[in-house]
Structure 1
């Protein structure tokens, strides 16, 4: 009898315990359900860490926002591999690259809403240091600088340097190296760092401050972005938090620390350094009608305008907004901007309808498909629905020939020797793909036709390449391809094609080698032959040797110095002028070669077979030099 109360007390305690456990679980479930994106951090941990491992990336940083809140600002991997310093999403600075342009566009729109910049005014009206030439009838307006439709050629000589002694003021750099205008304003969109730098210079001129100072006072400080700067070298208070940039060596499985990249000559186009936490504040401001934490950097109307369509070909593809560019994925509409330096690769995506944004940046030269994998996996996990794979109309197979061919991006040099970069790449191959699709390589993938102009991705592997469009000529054949809103490409004819030029150069190289081998083998057989007659094979041997040396030496110099051409700290500063000098000598020697070849026919020197062979090589030499001139390689065009 005396044990009954004790039993009741124990029973009551057990019931109360299980009730508390149940209450606790219920509260936990409620907490999880109230999270904007349940399980986000653990999902991203698995996803990002797997990509760092699989793609051999030293470190990365991720910032994610939704509904005005920072859901995560987290670092992964290492900012300093040697000293095992981990990346901090709050403290570690990465290089956003061209994502920096969004700050520049925001600055322009700030001054526009204040009435200090007229977007439709001639850009020259705000430029005091130099004037943009009036190459075409219509002037370049400020608004054209926001959509890459100014019509500039590409120019990247000395754009990236590693020694601060090589930095020159932006206005001086632009004045001395302004790209040529190669197409009328608004005709096409071709990505231009110089155009954005001019927009930044206009901000400086109108505001009376340096560009660096303007964005600090009007964007960074108001938003509390205390770890963000455009300044190069970095301010002393930020240096210790800067991530290193790396290249990965697969042979030794090691990371090599690279020097800090400086692009301050075109600072508004991409010189910023920032943290994931700071970039999150900027994303929230743009998603929240221009405001963050009660502070406005843009009026709601201006913010909405920045996110609206400004330029497209009106074929149903993605458009350029006011600096932002459109992308999409499985029915989700996005705006944003990517960024690439040599050793840092970044992306920002905003989904205004979902009030969501993500910024990601990685500190290793080759990141492969990491950014596409992360954004598509994240969107599939939290936002997208099952999507039916698009299919082309049944009769597309009979029309595919209208699109097939080689297309060259309009973003290339026309006036200096870097035009030769077209020989190394910069073209798209369009061909029939499997399952009645259109295949675009090396970037793009497979596409299904929607109508004569619009194609949509079948692979669904990248928001950037979810839609492409074509322009058709009067015969219904494609003559332009629009892969991205700012990357238009034109269809090439047979003789314009770099592929044709590559084949021709291979033929020339074989001929030049053959001449050298022949000269070596015949050196003893020419005893007794008149010296005047020997002049032809000897000149051919000299020219062949010079041309072969040029091809090899220039190819090596150009490829290893592509991004830092003619920076004093680059070996290209010496190598490329040497190569160009060799080609000039070849040109000079080729003049008497042509004459001696004529004499050989006039005097009947050598037997017919050998004379024909020598003549064929002479013709190849002439055509070779014509092609080199086409690529601005005759003389010192830089």
Structure 2
């Protein structure tokens, strides 16, 4: 689960300010001391936790099979009684995909999987509504080119709950979906491909996925602190987590899409794992499999022209030629991962037999990767492999030029996943980029330059327009982003695609206009879900500037809409279809396996002294509005054994979520909403005072 890109074309990496804390560096094992590297990394780790919004961070570097740098920084438990150590465990998010890829490649080595055989050869019951599914191969799952929509993650992010719903229901969910592109046409980040690969490993090996990775990887590599939610984790020292909407420590986050993002580990264990990719551990994966994983798979389909980049998919890897190591003539492969609360980065230098891992509570995989890069660069310099650090790059000063008359034809509305982007181009050569769905954000400005691109005033970003062989037009963004004392990353990607005209009938338009501005509330998410940290609702917003569309989705009928975007890398990830249906006079919205109920169906909570709410046989959650007569009263709920309730204020901000607060009492806010979630038949005795 790699972090999504949100906001404008050059979204900042910098997070909110926090109070600085001290970094603790472990003593290196035998080998090069790396004294200067230890010092530099400890300072940068403290910078992450003190300035860049990370609660705690853990890091490790391995060189020639020895862990020579290891440490941690920041805050752990709220009471300060449990110190951070090298054995404190973090969620690795999408870095888990490297375990899944390694498991598949192990079976390739054993002659049990051919990467270019169809998935149906290994999972015969895999089916979709789209006949092209028969063309999907295992290779396409690992290089993100399968054409699957993205992430069927209902009931996958839970608090202290290892429910296997997301794994057990994947095939059922895919059977009700279509593909967004021809298999193999281009690579765009896709979580479902790795859950499907996890299932392939189980079918071919005849064993559970967790057992397979332990037998073949963690046990032989001495990774005693690497677990999955299905393992016995009693006494397992997880790093404490926090979230901005809640004042206090949260229960442990459990990610049950194991093959896509559910493995828990330490920085030291991750660099031990890296040895199979740098030739330090023989007999686990063949050289041929390791080399195959490092090939530029992204070049097999549509992709922007070569430029400095932090993305370039291999098999499993986010990048097989990571910036800035290519500036030094060194190949680096990298994988990052983000859950809601944990973040991870693993960077491996195969030819140098070195790797660095950074894990954190809070922060992001992007900042973790910057720290991993810095750790490796300092170590390379300290042992004399590189002479000096390269200067950070930019595109220089924007030299304004006369713009050709046809360039303004690229103006118009563009789309990326769940976002619309308005592009305006003045005849005088100024480009303006704004987000109509976020009108309070100022527009980004660029000027036309001599090389035919638009450039930002500070010289860190270039914007061009490209019409690909598929006839679609894309915004191509190249940018450098720096954080003081943490280094620089580069990104080159198609950020959005120009929307084509979409005429709809009057009847279809009328059906959607009735929904415009309406909210739909999630009803089929488990009561332990992290989804309740933020108001789990979708709002239908139609824009006059994008007729025939709802956000990035093309309206296809009175009750249906689907994304038609074909954007490689990350801009077109996690697309989905909207389908509305009526049941017992109530309208529901289905999207990517999640079900939402119309706000029109919400009834006010009873404002009297006593009431009873019961989850129906369908198991769907019950939402209520808070009427004026109930607002300001204290609500006490007698909870069932398997149930929770959550209250939100008029702005959708969290007031109380019983799973994390342990509190069954709350003062009801004006014009808020509340939800009871639990197993079918669960009863909630409610009293108001």
Which band: TM-score by shorter chain?
0.5 to 0.7
Q: Please state if 1:310 is matched with 2:297.
A: yes
> What is residue 484 of structure 1 aligned with on the other side?
none
Residue 451 of structure 1 and its aligned partner are, at CA, apart by: 11
> What is residue 675 of structure 2 aligned with on the other side?
none
> What is residue 173 of structure 1 aligned with on the other side?
169
Larger deviation, residues 39-48 vs 393-402: 393-402
1:205 and 1:464 mapped to 2: Cα distance?
Answer: 42
Pairing 1:201-212 to 2, within 5 Å after superposition: 201-212=199-210
**Pairing partner for 1:328 from 323, 335, 344:** 323
| Contact 1:63-1:276 at 8 Å conserved across structures | yes
Q: Please state if 1:466 is matched with 2:490.
A: yes
Q: Please state if 1:162 is matched with 2:162.
A: no
1:622 and 1:325 mapped to 2: Cα distance?
Answer: 31
1:171 and 1:229 mapped to 2: Cα distance?
Answer: 17
1:151 and 1:277 mapped to 2: Cα distance?
Answer: 35
Q: Please state if 1:140 is matched with 2:136.
A: yes
Residue 353 of structure 1 and its aligned partner are, at CA, apart by: 3.5
> What is residue 229 of structure 2 aligned with on the other side?
231
Helix, strand or coil: the match of 1:338?
Answer: strand
| Contact 1:396-1:449 at 8 Å conserved across structures | no
> What is residue 14 of structure 2 aligned with on the other side?
none
| Contact 1:166-1:568 at 8 Å conserved across structures | no
**Pairing partner for 2:461 from 426, 429, 446:** 446
Residue 339 of structure 1 and its aligned partner are, at CA, apart by: 0.4
> What is residue 355 of structure 1 aligned with on the other side?
353
1:188 and 1:228 mapped to 2: Cα distance?
Answer: 33
Residue 121 of structure 1 and its aligned partner are, at CA, apart by: 0.2
Helix, strand or coil: the match of 2:258?
Answer: helix
> What is residue 49 of structure 2 aligned with on the other side?
52
- In proportion to residue count, which structure has more strand? 2
> What is residue 568 of structure 2 aligned with on the other side?
none
Residue 391 of structure 1 and its aligned partner are, at CA, apart by: 3.7
Any stretches of 5+ residues in structure 2 without a counterpart?
1-27, 420-434, 469-475, 503-508, 563-577, 582-587, 591-689
| Contact 1:148-1:195 at 8 Å conserved across structures | yes
1:278 and 1:38 mapped to 2: Cα distance?
Answer: 22
| Contact 1:104-1:200 at 8 Å conserved across structures | yes
**Pairing partner for 1:245 from 241, 246, 254:** 241
Helix, strand or coil: the match of 2:243?
Answer: strand
Residue 170 of structure 1 and its aligned partner are, at CA, apart by: 5.3
2:550 and 2:263 mapped to 1: Cα distance?
Answer: 46
| Contact 2:119-2:138 at 8 Å conserved across structures | yes
| Contact 2:160-2:253 at 8 Å conserved across structures | no
Larger deviation, residues 199-208 vs 159-168: 159-168
> What is residue 431 of structure 2 aligned with on the other side?
none
Deviation per CA, 1:360-401: give whole Å up to 9, x if none. Answer: 11112x559633552454466445633474548968773776
2:206 and 2:535 mapped to 1: Cα distance?
Answer: 40
Helix, strand or coil: the match of 1:191?
Answer: coil
> What is residue 25 of structure 1 aligned with on the other side?
none
> What is residue 258 of structure 1 aligned with on the other side?
250
- In proportion to residue count, which structure has more helix? 1
Residue 191 of structure 1 and its aligned partner are, at CA, apart by: 1.4
| Contact 2:119-2:134 at 8 Å conserved across structures | no
| Contact 1:406-1:430 at 8 Å conserved across structures | no
**Pairing partner for 1:271 from 262, 273, 287:** 262
1:434 and 1:108 mapped to 2: Cα distance?
Answer: 47
Any stretches of 5+ residues in structure 1 without a counterpart?
1-30, 413-420, 470-480, 482-488, 497-507, 509-539, 584-616
| Contact 1:110-1:298 at 8 Å conserved across structures | yes
> What is residue 386 of structure 1 aligned with on the other side?
390
Q: 1:440–1:164: structure 2 CA closer, same or farther, 3 Å change rule?
A: farther
1:120 and 1:422 mapped to 2: Cα distance?
Answer: 43
Q: How many residues align?
A: 472
2:141 and 2:488 mapped to 1: Cα distance?
Answer: 21
> What is residue 68 of structure 1 aligned with on the other side?
65
Q: 1:188–1:213: structure 2 CA closer, same or farther, 3 Å change rule?
A: same
Larger deviation, residues 344-353 vs 207-216: 344-353
Residue 566 of structure 1 and its aligned partner are, at CA, apart by: 2.5
1:226 and 1:50 mapped to 2: Cα distance?
Answer: 29
- TM-score w.r.t. the length of structure 2 is 0.58
Helix, strand or coil: the match of 2:345?
Answer: strand
Q: Please state if 1:114 is matched with 2:114.
A: no
Residue 490 of structure 1 and its aligned partner are, at CA, apart by: 4.4
| Contact 2:225-2:265 at 8 Å conserved across structures | yes
Helix, strand or coil: the match of 1:229?
Answer: coil
Q: 1:228–1:341: structure 2 CA closer, same or farther, 3 Å change rule?
A: same
Q: 1:430–1:633: structure 2 CA closer, same or farther, 3 Å change rule?
A: farther
Q: 1:389–1:335: structure 2 CA closer, same or farther, 3 Å change rule?
A: same
